[in-house]
């Protein structure tokens, strides 16, 4: 007889203990942790980061081209200015990436201390011999042989502080006392410290930050009308109180700058040569490094008037590319602002938007002759270490909001605590 064997019994799989999942040789734990560190960011994050890095690299190229002659004449070699600017960029870009990892709670906690410290530094500028006057504006501080602009730190502090204070007042913004007293009392006082130093261009950008934050926070226009009129009247009085500023305004209006012959006045020299540089560039430009205006014809060629060198060397096409980059930057700011569930993130992003894009429009408008000479650099492009660092940190703050969007949406708002 044939023996009948029973089929083998199948054993159920042995469950894996939780502790065994992280044993050596099993990469699941490592994959989880690395996934948290290198998680995919939003499209707005990469759009803002990529556009910013492009403008920084492009700015270094243009600073090298526009400053080489003046650097050589100042005995720092052809690469003196660009090496200094590159050093600030090497500090600023990693700092941007570090700042972009900080949480929203950090900015809320640091808002008041940062505003107080930056205002104290500005007091050293305007009320002590440590302040340094450049081109008629007392806006620089010298400490330990290092010169920097505390007004740039005040811009950063205002961006963070406005987001914090307006998020706390979000349900009471219809009451003028909760708008005028904190924003124009404290924030306006910080702006006044810069105004005492005489830097009207920076003051206008800072005033734009205040009004822009209030507008995007949802404050009614009727509450902004009176402060806006007062600010315009105050700016006019400050402008006519200085002979230097009045000369710039008169040159902008064409007084003494439209003569067919004769010596060009000092006030008309820079605007005229900036216009001639743009005209010389045409559509395609004269080629990178081939500018004639940078040969000591155009003052501040690597700073306030770097857009004129861009137009001369790269032509209309290069100028339009720069404009498109700032449009992309504005688009990224708006996308982050619209998708953020936090009022603080929205207001601070709006403040950075007004700061960076508004300052770019003012700088380009000055070069094109739309505005009188105000002395503000082109963000991320012009030479200037303090301005570059502050702008990169401000954009890093916005990137931190872009990274935290999904986290804030899932958790209760901190502003309601």
Domain presence at residue 175: yes
Domain presence at residue 409: no
Domain of residue 71 covers 43-403
Residue 290 forms beta bridges with which residues? none
Residue position matching structure tokens 């500028």: 125
Name the domain count of the chain: 1
HEC sequence for the chain:
CCCCCCCCCCCCCCCCCHHHHHCCCCCHHHHHHHHHHCCCCCHHHHHHHHHHHHHHHHHHHHHHHHHHHHHHHCCCCCCHHHHHHHHHHHHHHHHHHHHCCCCHHHHHHHHHHHHHHHHHHHHHHHHCCCEEEECCEEEEEEECCEEECHHHHHHHHHHHHHHHHHHHCCCCCCCCHHHHHHHHHHHHHHHHHHHHCCCHHHHHHHHHHHHHHHHHHCCCHHHHHHHHHHHHHHHHHHHHCCHHHHHHHHHHCCCCCCCCCCCCCHHHHHHHHHHHHHHHHCCCCCCCCCCCCCCCCCCCCCCCCHHHHHHHHHHHHHHHHHHHHHHHHHHHHHHHHHHCCCHHHHHHHHHHHHHHHHHHHHHHHHHHCCCCCCCCCCCCCCCCHHHHHHHHHHHHHHHHHHHCHHHHHHCCCHHHC
Q: Give dist(CA 103, CA 403) in Å, integer.
A: 9
Residue-level pLDDT at 405: 47
Q: Is the pTM of this model over 0.95?
A: no
Between 55 and 235, the more confident residue is 55
CB neighbour class for 189 (10 Å; exposed up to 12, middle 13-18, buried from 19): exposed
pLDDT digits over 82-141, tens only?
999 999 999 999 999 999 999 999 999 999 999 999 999 999 998 988 888 877 778 888
Domain presence at residue 32: no
Domain presence at residue 4: no
pLDDT digits over 38-81, tens only?
455 788 899 999 999 999 999 999 999 999 998 988 878 889 99
* Predicted confidence band of residue 293 (pLDDT cuts 50, 70, 90): very high
Q: Which of 128-132, 173-177, 209-213 has the highest mean pLDDT?
A: 209-213
Residue-level pLDDT at 254: 67
pLDDT digits over 358-401, tens only?
999 999 999 998 888 888 999 999 999 999 999 999 999 999 99
> Which tokens is 343 given?
């009022």
Domain presence at residue 330: yes
Between 335 and 27, the more confident residue is 335
* Predicted confidence band of residue 171 (pLDDT cuts 50, 70, 90): confident
Domain presence at residue 279: yes
Between 349 and 177, the more confident residue is 349
Please say if the pLDDT value at position 221 is more than 90.
no
* Predicted confidence band of residue 19 (pLDDT cuts 50, 70, 90): very low
* Predicted confidence band of residue 246 (pLDDT cuts 50, 70, 90): confident
Domain presence at residue 10: no
Domain presence at residue 66: yes
Please say if the pLDDT value at position 181 is more than 90.
no
CA atoms within 13 A on the CB side of 317: 8
């Amino acid at each position: 007889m044939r023996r009948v064997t029973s089929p083998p019994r199948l054993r159920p799989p042995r469950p894996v203990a939780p502790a065994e999942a992280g044993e050596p040789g099993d990469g699941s734990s490592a994959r989880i942790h690395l996934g948290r560190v290198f998680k995919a960011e939003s499209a707005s994050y990469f759009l803002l980061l990529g556009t910013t890095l492009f403008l920084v690299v492009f700015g270094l190229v243009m600073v090298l081209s526009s400053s080489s002659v003046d650097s050589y004449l100042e005995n720092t070699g052809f690469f003196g200015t660009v090496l200094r600017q590159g050093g600030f960029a090497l500090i600023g870009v990693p700092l941007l990436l570090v700042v972009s990892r900080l949480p929203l709670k950090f900015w809320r906690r640091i808002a008041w201390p940062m505003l107080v410290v930056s205002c104290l530094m500005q007091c050293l500028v305007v009320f002590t011999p440590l302040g340094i006057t450049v081109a008629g504006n007392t806006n620089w501080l010298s400490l330990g042989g290092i010169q920097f602009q505390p007004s740039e730190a005040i811009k950063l502090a205002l961006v963070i502080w406005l987001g914090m204070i307006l998020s706390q007042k979000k349900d009471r913004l219809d009451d003028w006392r909760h708008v005028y007293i904190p924003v124009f009392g404290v924030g306006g006082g910080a702006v006044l410290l810069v105004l005492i130093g005489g830097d009207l261009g920076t003051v206008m950008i800072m005033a734009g930050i205040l009004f822009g934050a209030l507008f995007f926070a949802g404050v009614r226009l009727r509450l902004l009308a009176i402060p806006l009129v007062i600010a315009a009247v105050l700016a006019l009085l400050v402008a006519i109180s200085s002979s230097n500023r009045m000369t710039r305004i008169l040159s902008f209006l064409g007084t003494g700058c439209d003569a067919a012959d004769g010596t060009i006045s000092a006030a008309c020299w820079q605007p005229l040569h900036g216009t001639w540089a743009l005209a010389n560039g045409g559509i395609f430009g004269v080629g990178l490094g081939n500018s004639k205006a940078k040969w000591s014809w155009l003052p501040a060629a690597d700073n306030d008037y770097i857009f004129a060198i861009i137009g001369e060397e790269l032509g209309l096409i290069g100028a339009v590319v720069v404009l498109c980059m700032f449009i992309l930057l504005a688009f990224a700011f708006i996308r982050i602002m619209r998708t953020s569930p936090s009022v603080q993130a929205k207001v601070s992003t709006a403040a950075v938007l007004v700061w960076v894009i508004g300052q770019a429009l003012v700088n380009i408008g000055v070069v094109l002759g739309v505005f009188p000479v105000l002395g503000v650099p082109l963000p991320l492009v012009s030479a200037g270490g303090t301005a570059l660092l502050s702008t990169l940190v401000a954009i890093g703050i916005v990137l931190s909001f872009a990274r935290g969007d999904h986290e804030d949406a899932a958790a209760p708002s901190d502003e309601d605590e």
